Structure 1
């Protein structure tokens, strides 16, 4: 050990600290590492050699922009995670294990997930074996606060997710700025569950200022904080179902229900979970609930599923179907063309374009 090494820092501890620094930043110079580790550049070079022996591909570059960097190797060496990173990784792996694959609609048995759920479960098992007891209990407590429906969700800020998950777990109020069409407004809530859809993360919470359950998109939040005020949980709806119904129908001016003559599993494979809710209704049939900005668009989407269906509600949706049917029949049986019209010359539908 060099004379300037900290006497209380052993070789193993120093090498682990060096590995942590290399994983935090792309490139470090020797003097920078020596200063952070309270040692000398010579000791840094020896410790770099120890990491390479253990299988960590540490690269060294000369010149003004040179330095040490951790690169990809032939095999995966152990990762050094701090407490926050370990907890966030475990929660994400758990979500991956619960949602193993995107439904296979090709009939080949090769869904988009490709067995990713099994890999996530194996990785979660390995991580759980090496987590300290205090972190293992933290992870298991946080996972109670997270639910999901669908796969392929967009990423969210891990710090925001962890802050909200802890607030759900600890039953403490949360505050944040929330962006909407009217601008950004401060919100105070009693957080209940985080819910991950196939597109986004949501928070189901009791809105203290509006006195009711609300669904908030996490990507629209800013300056998220957990407050010190604790609350007694209220009777709550099923989080995943409530959020899914909200994003598929409650946010739209029109809400439609159809009875579709096809198994629920078949229709679910055709409809994104963020577009409609599908309920089984006996053998070979299901109910599809969806929302839309106008009735014609929701009719079109159900029609293009390719199954027989009936309108359940609203009543005006049935009237709209009959009106569209008359127009389609008229289009399929056009009246005879007047005499003198050239039947072989196509009509000009857009003036100025041939």
Structure 2
């Protein structure tokens, strides 16, 4: 009897951790018990220190809330191994997570079942990272967590945003998705003042304020956040124009130029268009130099002048 109750409470806790809110009747159905039994099990979880809130409404329900301490989490085998891998790579693109991630990994390994400990240990010993200097701005993990929570809860937030021109303004948005592109993170949100979808670089966001107002989630045109951001980024204005027609399949070019993934458009089976436009002439030269096949170039005069001067210096240095 006690074993059945313990197993049921663990199952209940697992369900509460997978969704933000659960109607009491649905929990009862999932656990094959009565609503009254669910209430008793919820009370037992509260006595054990789990902050379970009751949700008011027609049907009533429950949600696992934030507390003063982090309660134990229930992970299945695949989740535990996935977290071990993620912790080893958590430092990429985020500020100050290296030591924290290693401490968390050590704690995870300590409590892993024996059948998984060997896998996690093998991952820890086999995976290594090269500490390159960051290509772009580093993202504050605290900001990332704040925005991720706002996206999950569909809570309107306000923040100061510095545009590429250097001007700063207060924005009020409905956050929907976070999208990573190389070393940069973007917030995809619906701007309440402009009544339009906008993209914000996280390294340009400051002074985030939660309004406490929650709204229904919005349907993104096209439904794919990554594709939406990629298309908008490709269409963003730049100071210098440079578009290359590369004589190679788009997938081949993507495989050799990771940072260009959002700016490559296939023209056919063996040709693709690469938009290397940028505010920096030096970055344009670096991008074109990294293309893995021959190409023709359509570019502004100042771009062509810079490329010729760069090529002459390289040829001179090469003798």
Query: Into which bin does the TM-score normalised by the smaller protein fall?
Result: 0.3 to 0.5
Which protein has the bigger helix share? 2
Higher-Rg structure is 1
What's the TM-score, normalizing by structure 2?
A: 0.46
What's the TM-score, normalizing by structure 1?
A: 0.42
